[in-house]
Amino acid sequence: MTRASPSPEGETVLRFHRLSVPTPYSVGPVNSYLIVSEPVTLVDPGPDWPAAREALCGALERLGLGLQAVARIVLTHSHSDHSGLAHLLHEATGAPVYVHRHALAELAPDYDYLAVRLPFLRESGLPEAVLEKLIKLKDVLPKPVVYPEEAVVVEGGESLEFADGALRLLHIPGHAAGHLCLWDEADGVLFSGDFLLPDITPNPVLGPAPDNPERRDRSLEHYLSGLEVVRRLNPRVVWPGHGEAILNPPEVVTRNLAHHRARLQAVLDLLGGSALTAYEVAAALFPDLRQFDIFLGLSEAFAHLDYLRERGEVEAFYRNGTLYFRRVGTG
């Protein structure tokens, strides 16, 4: 499936195609964006999965391009459905992989996703048996890897120059620590990765703060301020990492802000007058969570609890190594 960017004047500024690449995850296919202005640039090649490889190569062929046409690869973030093919594509083409410093750290071959999050899972109140199962879960996709020598490390703020325009790389964390969005200011087009999605509110994924790994990252705080950044950019259209183009970005920003406000209130209501663990909050918000969704549910719970704690509405204390949260004034 390919799309070109319609601009208000009917002419195209940066020409690109949306390539729908299948993933084995419940989120469905991932959007890979091929910007055909020189140097030809591929944003998020997709997962390292046979059907994805086939789809990507097939799409390039139908456009009359070989893999070799790709001169630059950009990753919005480290998650395997977006980044898995970057290494193979680099090997095939020599194209450098533009990636945020924090995402590159997660793409290191020896990076163990759950191990670095284990201290947070241990204090979450997750029953030991469930934790053991979670640790042993095997992803259907191989761990995505990008080697430092393949990468161009960015911090955000850099501009990718093309023959017909430019894309500014914006570091907008909240869903993932090293998340980048790509902003075509001339055309009012934002490539949002998983930061803004048409049908779902992205998970504020649990992880260590990149510059202070003992602490949880303030993912929800980052996410909410990122929404304000997007609101100020005021894009005409947002091309997301999954699903169709977002033609009403301000509405989606408002919807996501309202979603989190409602969830913050729901967490306060849940706490009531008692002290609860992050696991108890997750289980109340999302009954019947299984497998990796348990981790995502815990991410939601921690993100909202930590945010309320930062705001002074909730306090936390340890009991036998487990972290409990309660509303201020109810202890």
Beta bridge partners of 151: 97
- For residue 235, the 8-state DSSP code is -
Long-range Cβ contacts of 163-168 (<8 Å, 24+ apart): 163/37, 163/38, 164/13, 164/14, 164/15, 164/37, 165/13, 165/14, 165/37, 167/14, 167/35, 167/191
- Shorter beta-carbon distance to Zn ion: residue 244 or 310: 244
Provide the token pair at 319. 């009991």
Min dist. Cβ of residue 230 to Zn ion (A): 16
Return the range that interacts with Zn ion (CB under 5 A); candidates 78-86, 112-120, 145-153, 154-162.
78-86
CA 299 to mean position of chain CA atoms? 13
CA atoms of 202 and 139, how far apart (whole Å): 20
Residue 44 binds Zn ion (CB under 5 A)? no
Contacts (Cβ under 8 Å, ≥6 apart) of 312: 328
Site residues for Zn ion, window 227-246 (CB under 5 A)? 241
Provide the token pair at 318. 């340890």
- Shorter beta-carbon distance to Zn ion: residue 218 or 327: 218
Min dist. Cβ of residue 203 to Zn ion (A): 8
Return the range that interacts with Zn ion (CB under 5 A); candidates 71-79, 129-137, 231-239, 295-303.
71-79
- Shorter beta-carbon distance to Zn ion: residue 165 or 241: 241
Residue 79 binds Zn ion (CB under 5 A)? yes
How many CB atoms neighbour CB 3 within 10 A?
15
CA atoms of 229 and 319, how far apart (whole Å): 39
- Shorter beta-carbon distance to Zn ion: residue 6 or 243: 243
Residue 106 binds Zn ion (CB under 5 A)? no
> Nearest CA to 20 among 64, 70, 54?
54
Return the range that interacts with Zn ion (CB under 5 A); candidates 77-85, 207-215, 216-224, 293-301.
77-85
How many CB atoms neighbour CB 254 within 10 A?
13
Residue 117 binds Zn ion (CB under 5 A)? no
Min dist. Cβ of residue 147 to Zn ion (A): 21
Q: In the stretch 182-221, what mask flags binding to Zn ion with x, by CB under 5 A?
A: ------------x---------------------------
- Shorter beta-carbon distance to Zn ion: residue 52 or 271: 52
Residues that bind Zn ion (CB under 5 A): 79, 81, 194, 241
